Amino acid sequence: MTMNLHLIIPLSLSLCLLDLLIRSRPDVFVLVGGSSVPYPCSPPYASFNFCDTSLPVNNRVSDLVSMLTLDEKVMQLVNKAAGISRLGIPPYEWWSEALHGVSNTGPGTTFGGAVPGAVSFPQVILSAASFNVSLWKAIGQVVSTEGRAMYNEGHSGLTFWSPNINIYRDPRWGRGQETPGEDPYLSSEYAVNFVRGLQDVDGDSSDRLKVAACCKHYTAYDLDNWQGVDRFHFNAEVTEQDLDDTYQPPFKNCLVNGNAACIMCSYNRVNGVPSCVDKNLLIGTVREQWGLNGYVVSDCDSVEVLYDSIHYTQSPVDAVADSILAGLNLNCGNFLASYTAKAVAQGKLSESKVDESLSYLYTVLMRLGYFDGDPSSQMHFGSLSASDVCTVEHRELALDAARQGIVLLKNNATNGLPLSQPTIKTLAVIGPNVNVTSTMIGNYAGIPCKYTTPFEGLASYGAKVLYEPGCSNVACTSSSMIDAAVKAADVADAVVLIMGLDQSQEREGLDRKSLSFPGHQTDLIMQVANSSKGTNKPISLVIMSGGPVDVGFAVNLSEISSILWVGYPGEAGGQAIAEVIYGDYNPAGRLPMSWYPESYTELQMTDMHMRPDPTRGYPGRTYRFYNKGDTIYEFGYGLSFTTFSHTKLSAPSQIFLHDQQNIDSSQTSEHGQEVLLEEVQCASSNFNVKLGVKNMGSIKGDHVVMVFWHASKAITSKGAPKKQLMAFERIHGLYPQEEAEVVFKLSACEHLSYVGKDGRKLLAIGVQKISVGDIEHHVHVHHHRNSPNL
Ligand SMILES: *[C@@H]1O[C@H](CO)[C@@H](O)[C@H](O)[C@H]1NC(C)=O
Ligand SMILES: *[C@@H]1O[C@H](CO)[C@@H](O)[C@H](O)[C@H]1NC(C)=O
Ligand SMILES: *[C@@H]1O[C@H](CO)[C@@H](O)[C@H](O)[C@H]1NC(C)=O
Ligand SMILES: *[C@@H]1O[C@H](CO)[C@@H](O)[C@H](O)[C@H]1NC(C)=O
Ligand SMILES: *[C@@H]1O[C@H](CO)[C@@H](O)[C@H](O)[C@H]1NC(C)=O
């Protein structure tokens, strides 16, 4: 099969051109036909009914759609929606991005002039490690404030295609950095809070949107390019069980609880069907079951891909007709503009289906206030301007997000962190990621307000800094700079090695082949450690990366006194790293993904099964299922400079489940270990666990408590996860000896259940093991059939 790479390369080239064109765009849109208007519904066009803000949105939308010709309509179905000059509607670019700050990855957003940059938060995988739901929401709020301000300045659209909430199933995935990690519950919580931060208008009970978010990439997309299999050609073979309890929950929550205004279908096929033409996945699940209040957009060119690359349809017209009929509303790309009118003319699609898509699209724009006239005179957000971008408060939040996410992986009590500032006269700072800027913001970033590099952060603490990169870049193909680095380490009082990855190793379109440090990085670390043998010198290994690396050798080296994972920590990352190293901030982040040894790479990345399969020696995926026992650091791992004790204050030892009224006892579904969830009254399954937490050390710190369910062997053999996150809570700033209480509101239906092989939910009964911090608790879930009605 020929790979249609030519299809992809021209796209990215044309994007660069587009970018240039947009950068030089004047503040006033010049429309085809000669007239120019700055915004829709500007005088003299403000008298159309669709501009009348006193009318209900659906009336305004149907008024607008009714005025368009078919040729005008089809030009609205693509990201670069054409202007309609006779109605005073300027062109609209739907494609803006804001994964962790307003980004210029999409052509809808530009930097320059009044807006030279915007806050660049840590890459999502590090913010996820904070396990702080209010942080995720606060980030969304800042990003949407800056996005809205940039829109008012003519520098951004209002529709952002973020977040990326695919499950980080395989540590090699180049885009794992963009996601909140490997756990469906964590990803769901991240999605809901980030999306609410982006979209919600405080104090507004209507359907109004601050900006529109988009949950992507739907669904089972987590492979970019591995051993010749690329995302355009990949057919993800996914069981019903894995789809329902792993791949789908983040999307369901993003729409149902986050109320996201958009979902993006992915490039890949799911069980043979490209997701953008899958009517079950789009209309069936997204529209009908989850009630999407918004639009479905294709990933960029994925309608083209399903025709050109895999010939799923006979013709481009069929690709377009089938995808619209399946529930697609907007095409990132150009196929829908080119072929929709033909599809209607050939009778493959009715014009009313086109109108339906337009209604979804215009409803979102109406909810955003796009048709409410002059942006700068609007009641909501009209006053936001360039001075609301890169404010001190916004930049401080980026710094705080980096602090909250950083994970302490190893720390020797004798000579580990924090470094004691007065005793460190000379600090050797070594590694290819010491003096980096753009590495810290990862991909889908913009232009940051201001960088603080790790070098600058560490140098600000006053010790004499000896900087040796050790390698010329992260690929580290030569060992020629290692000697100089070892010499610097030898004469220093302490050493900080800042190693890891960057976008040359992991990115969109590039999955890793290896989990090891690239090139000679391992030699560099080993030689620095070796040379300090017997000196007790603190050597801190800082790993800057999105994905996990095989750090097993350094965990074992007693000379490496501490290890930190700092993700891609955003524009202020260097300061956060230095604050942690010198003890001005006590780290409390936890890993949102498991770390494995290099031997993990024997697994086929294309194998989407979450559950282990002993018959073929397949170990399963993520901490919920992986059973090989050689994980280096498991999901949820992370240390502190202090220690916390946990006390069980209250938790039930028994739960009694009641059946739904209409259950027929003769048709019992009970197998002794579980019962069908739909047969149980879930209100009877609620229970609370109350925990006491105390800081036992001498340093103030935050603490993340996680509650896990550990299913019994009897049901893990049927597919229940061996361990499953039920709930989590970050506790802020506990002083030495201070105590706090946390109450977890749990439900057996929600938290002690799993998806059976047929996709139906099963509730575990019998004795269930729960762990909270380092405490174990057993709760007996009782279930008795209603006595038969006599
Ligand atoms: C969560 O993050 C917010 C925003 O930075 C912060 O104010 C709050 O203290 C954090 N919560 C906890 C429990 O650490
Ligand atoms: C860090 O990199 C910048 C830009 O490449 C360079 O100007 C600066 O001198 C470097 N800093 C150090 C300490 O080498
Ligand atoms: C460590 O040092 C010893 C002797 O000091 C040497 O034999 C060994 O090869 C060194 N190992 C590494 C990895 O540099
Ligand atoms: C680390 O040490 C453990 C225990 O001695 C050993 O089993 C493991 O293989 C070592 N790992 C590496 C990468 O050296
Ligand atoms: C901690 O550091 C001390 C001093 O260098 C060393 O003797 C000890 O072996 C280290 N402990 C571990 C577990 O590596």
Q: Where are the domains of the chain?
A: 1-94+219-367, 407-614, 642-784
Task: Give residue 18's pLDDT.
Answer: 34
Can you give the length of the chain in residues? 790
Atom of ligand 3 nearest to the CA of 526: 13
Task: Give residue 786's pLDDT.
Answer: 62
Confidence of residue 669 (pLDDT cuts 50, 70, 90): low
Per-residue model confidence as pLDDT tens digits over 534-562: 999 999 999 999 999 999 999 999 999 99
Which mutation among 414, 559, 563 tests ligand 5's pocket best, with the greatest number of atoms within 8 A of CB? 414
Per-residue model confidence as pLDDT tens digits over 395-450: 999 999 999 999 999 999 999 999 999 999 999 999 999 999 999 999 999 999 99
Nearest alpha carbon, ligand 5 atom 5: 536
Which mutation among 126, 130, 132 tests ligand 1's pocket best, with the greatest number of atoms within 8 A of CB? 132
Asked whether residue 19 carries a pLDDT value surpassing 90, the answer given is no
Confidence of residue 11 (pLDDT cuts 50, 70, 90): very low
- Ligand nearest the Cα of residue 436 is 2
Atom of ligand 5 nearest to the CA of 557: 14
Task: Give residue 4's pLDDT.
Answer: 34
**Distance in angstroms (rounded) separating the CA atoms of residues 763 and 94:** 43
Asked whether residue 787 carries a pLDDT value surpassing 80, the answer given is no
Q: Which of 587, 512, 582, 573 is nearest to 544 (CA)?
A: 573
Per-residue model confidence as pLDDT tens digits over 482-507: 999 999 999 999 999 999 999 999 99
Atom of ligand 5 nearest to the CA of 559: 5
Q: Which of 173, 93, 66, 180 is nearest to 132 (CA)?
A: 180
Atom of ligand 5 nearest to the CA of 413: 1
Which mutation among 412, 415, 532, 555 tests ligand 5's pocket best, with the greatest number of atoms within 8 A of CB? 412
- List CB contacts of 266: < 8 A, sequence separation 6 or more: 166, 216, 217, 218, 219, 220, 221, 231, 275, 276, 299, 302
Look at the domain 642-784 and name its fold: Immunoglobulin-like (2.60.40)
583-615: burial string, b at 16+ Cβ within 10 Å, e else: eebbbbbbbbbbbbbeebbebebebbbbbbeee
Q: What mean pLDDT do residues 205-230 have?
A: 96
Q: How far is the CA of 730 from the centre of ligand 1 (A)?
A: 8
User: What residues does 658 pair with on adjacent strands?
Assistant: 681
Task: Give residue 773's pLDDT.
Answer: 85
Asked whether residue 21 carries a pLDDT value surpassing 50, the answer given is no
Asked whether residue 629 carries a pLDDT value surpassing 80, the answer given is yes
Nearest alpha carbon, ligand 3 atom 7: 530
Name the average pLDDT for the chain. Answer: 93
Q: How far is the CA of 765 from the centre of ligand 4 (A)?
A: 39
Give the catalytic positions in this structure: 299
Atom of ligand 4 nearest to the CA of 552: 13
Contact yes or no for 384/145 (Cβ under 8 A): yes
Confidence of residue 737 (pLDDT cuts 50, 70, 90): very high
Q: Is the CB of 530 under 6 A from ligand 3?
A: yes
Asked whether residue 665 carries a pLDDT value surpassing 60, the answer given is no
Contact yes or no for 139/100 (Cβ under 8 A): yes
- List CB contacts of 357: < 8 A, sequence separation 6 or more: 77, 295, 324, 328, 329, 330
- Ligand nearest the Cα of residue 526 is 3
Task: Give residue 3's pLDDT.
Answer: 33
Task: Give residue 688's pLDDT.
Answer: 98
Task: Give residue 785's pLDDT.
Answer: 74
The whole-model pTM stands at: 0.95
Question: Which of 300-304, 585-589, 665-669, 762-766 has the weakest average pLDDT?
Answer: 665-669
Beta strand pairing call for 29-30 and 36-37: antiparallel
Q: What mean pLDDT do residues 8-19 have?
A: 35
Per-residue model confidence as pLDDT tens digits over 328-371: 999 999 999 999 999 999 999 999 999 999 999 999 999 999 99
Asked whether residue 762 carries a pLDDT value surpassing 80, the answer given is yes
In percent, the amount of the chain with pLDDT more than 70 equals 94
Q: Which of 548, 555, 535, 520 is nearest to 430 (CA)?
A: 520
Confidence of residue 88 (pLDDT cuts 50, 70, 90): very high
Contact yes or no for 385/378 (Cβ under 8 A): no
Nearest alpha carbon, ligand 5 atom 12: 558
Question: What residue spans of 435-480 are helical by DSSP H?
Answer: 454-459
Q: Is the CB of 527 under 6 A from ligand 3?
A: yes
Q: How far is the CA of 412 from the centre of ligand 5 (A)?
A: 6
- List CB contacts of 370: < 8 A, sequence separation 6 or more: 40, 92, 158
Q: What mean pLDDT do residues 268-286 have?
A: 98
Task: Give residue 668's pLDDT.
Answer: 52
CATH of region 407-614:
3.40.50.1700
Task: Give residue 661's pLDDT.
Answer: 79
**Distance in angstroms (rounded) separating the CA atoms of residues 143 and 213:** 11
Contact yes or no for 182/126 (Cβ under 8 A): no
Q: How far is the CA of 133 from the centre of ligand 1 (A)?
A: 8
Task: Give residue 5's pLDDT.
Answer: 34
Asked whether residue 2 carries a pLDDT value surpassing 60, the answer given is no
Task: Give residue 244's pLDDT.
Answer: 96
Per-residue model confidence as pLDDT tens digits over 170-190: 999 999 999 999 999 999 999
- List CB contacts of 18: < 8 A, sequence separation 6 or more: 80, 107
Q: Which of 391, 277, 336 is nearest to 77 (CA)?
A: 336
Per-residue model confidence as pLDDT tens digits over 671-697: 578 999 999 999 999 999 999 999 999
Atom of ligand 1 nearest to the CA of 588: 14
Which mutation among 435, 439, 451 tests ligand 2's pocket best, with the greatest number of atoms within 8 A of CB? 435
**Tokens standing for 572?**
């202020």
Q: How far is the CA of 557 from the centre of ligand 3 (A)?
A: 13
Q: How far is the CA of 530 from the centre of ligand 3 (A)?
A: 6
- Ligand nearest the Cα of residue 529 is 3
Asked whether residue 26 carries a pLDDT value surpassing 80, the answer given is no
Nearest alpha carbon, ligand 5 atom 6: 558
Asked whether residue 102 carries a pLDDT value surpassing 70, the answer given is yes
Task: Give residue 671's pLDDT.
Answer: 59
- Ligand nearest the Cα of residue 197 is 1
The verdict on whether omega for the bond into residue 219 sits within 30 degrees of 0, i.e. cis, is yes
Asked whether residue 582 carries a pLDDT value surpassing 60, the answer given is yes
